[in-house]
Amino acid sequence: MTVPTSGRSSARRADAQRSIAAILEAAVNALSRNPDASVSEIAKAAGVGRVTLYGHFPNRADLVEAALAHAIEQGHAALDAVDLTGDTRQALTRLIDSSWLLVNQSRSLLLAAQTVLPPSRIRDLHAGPVERVEGLVKRGQDDGVFRSDLSTSWLIGVMHNVMHTAADEINAGRLDPDQAAGFITATVLAAFTPPGRRVPT
């Protein structure tokens, strides 16, 4: 799914696979730095000719999509290690700890994708990660630990955007990166607390 699987009978040659891998990695890096990175830029960073790149990805949009899919897949795999059982608030804390850096780093890449891909496509690509968070948040709501007067998707959106707050603050030099995770969890846990209940310390 990461790579264009357009009707190909025999497997790709080894060097082609290497090229594709290099291109994807370079694309993720370049687009994460600058959402408007050109195809030439990416090809050069991948140590590959521009023509070669076009041999694997028909146009820039497809390349960006593949890069985003690649990054998401990687992140998704990395988060499989996180233990989401037990106390819901602690589970959420663990999830934030391991995911906020990933989210932060892919911010610019996501922006690139948004300018080139239809919103539906982007939502599809995010289906996996969203599902994981959604399950956790819903469990918290069912247990009464998280508020239910706001929709699940809203809470997920808030969590996501609070991570962006951290990125902004760090970028502006107003927040020490080491403190970021703590700020995020403190804020999210408070925001998720049901009305009338005490905010966890």
DSSP 84: -
Q: Of 144 and 154, which CB lies nearer to a second copy in the complex structure?
A: 154
Closest to 108 measured CA to CA, from 35, 56, 178: 35
Q: Of 105 and 187, which CB lies nearer to a second copy in the complex structure?
A: 187
Q: Of 59 and 179, which CB lies nearer to DNA in the complex structure?
A: 59
Are 64 and 85 a contacting pair, CB within 8 Å? no
Minimum CB–partner distance for residue 196 and a second copy (Å): 5
| Total of chain residues touching DNA, rule CB under 7 A | 25
Q: Does an H or E element contain 77, and which? A: helix 60-78
Q: Is 130 in the site for a second copy (CB under 8 A)?
A: no
**Contact mark string toward a second copy, 29..58, x via CB under 8 A:** -------x----------------------
| H helices present in 8-58, as ranges | 14-33, 39-45, 50-56
Which residues have C-beta within 8 Å of that of residue 19, sequence separation ≥ 6?
Answer: 46, 48, 52, 56
Minimum CB–partner distance for residue 57 and a second copy (Å): 22
**Looking at 2, 25, 60, 102, which residue binds DNA (CB under 7 A)?**
60
Closest to 126 measured CA to CA, from 84, 79, 78, 68: 68
Choose the one of DNA, a second copy, none that binds residue 193, judging by a C-beta under 5 to 8 angstroms depending on kind: a second copy
Among 71-79, 81-89, 91-99, 155-163, which window interacts with a second copy (CB under 8 A)? Answer: 155-163
Q: Is 59 in the site for a second copy (CB under 8 A)?
A: no
Both tokens of residue 190? Answer: 């408070």
Closest to 16 measured CA to CA, from 60, 61, 46: 46
Q: Of 78 and 199, which CB lies nearer to a second copy in the complex structure?
A: 199
Q: Of 22 and 191, which CB lies nearer to a second copy in the complex structure?
A: 191
Q: How far apart are CA 117 and CA 59, in angstroms?
A: 12
Applying CB under 7 A, the residues found at the interface with DNA are 10, 12-16, 18-19, 38-41, 47-52, 54-56, 58-61
